[in-house]
């Protein structure tokens, strides 16, 4: 097992897409430039557990009655939070349409109520290993609470590796197209 993969009960948690460097960049942003965070949030990396991919972002959210809820730009008091939202491959027979934002043919879903949310000030009190431990414990609780997450955490189909490869190819094609336009080819 690599240094980036840790055991979480019967599941493996892969941290290779959220390194110490990613953690330090996120921490720097929260300390020095948090006012400039985009209204829709900013992505910093991900943690994978089987076919679940937890995206790590910073987002402006508002607490309502003890719960955190995303708000539009007219919200009175927004605070910055670090969030981890689970995504996994879409089931063809699912009632709701899947997300297919970046990679055509690779639709995915999320589980409402399964995101992990850390207040900016609390996150800044943690070191990288502390954050990993806390996130893994929270993930274990969320996975145990949702049958669909249990099902996806137990799978290892390579969905996200295929997704990444397609996304990388699309980005490379876009860059090459831009270079051709810049040179007038």
Phi/psi at 73 (5° precision): -65, -10
Tokens standing for 51? 């076919």
Per-residue pLDDT of 74-85, as tens digits, reads: 545 788 999 999
- Domain ranges in the chain are 5-183
Per-residue pLDDT of 49-70, as tens digits, reads: 999 999 999 999 886 654 555 5
Per-residue pLDDT of 95-140, as tens digits, reads: 777 888 778 888 889 898 999 999 999 999 999 999 999 999 999 9
d(CA 87, CA 5): 19
Q: Which of 148, 38, 154 is nearest to 94 (CA)?
A: 148
Per-residue pLDDT at 77: 77
Residues 6+ apart with CB under 8 A from 4: 14, 15, 16, 19
Report, as an integer, the average pLDDT of 131-158: 94
């Amino acid at each position: 097992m690599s240094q980036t993969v840790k055991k979480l009960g019967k599941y493996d948690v892969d941290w290779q897409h959220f390194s110490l460097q990613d953690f330090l960049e996120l921490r720097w942003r929260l300390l020095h430039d948090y006012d400039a965070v985009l209204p829709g949030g900013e992505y910093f990396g991900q943690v994978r557990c089987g076919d679940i991919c937890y995206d790590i972002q910073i987002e402006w959210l508002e607490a309502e009655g003890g719960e955190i809820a995303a708000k539009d730009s007219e919200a009175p008091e927004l605070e910055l939070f670090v969030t981890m939202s689970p995504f996994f491959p879409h089931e063809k027979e699912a009632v709701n349409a899947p997300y297919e934002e970046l990679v055509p043919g690779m639709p995915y879903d999320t589980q409402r109520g399964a995101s992990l949310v850390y207040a900016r000030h609390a996150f800044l009190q943690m070191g990288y290993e502390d954050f990993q431990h806390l996130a893994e414990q929270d993930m274990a609780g969320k996975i145990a609470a949702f049958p669909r997450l249990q099902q996806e955490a137990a799978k290892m189909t390579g969905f996200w590796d295929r997704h990444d490869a397609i996304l990388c190819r699309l980005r490379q094609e876009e860059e090459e197209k831009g270079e051709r336009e810049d040179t007038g080819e």
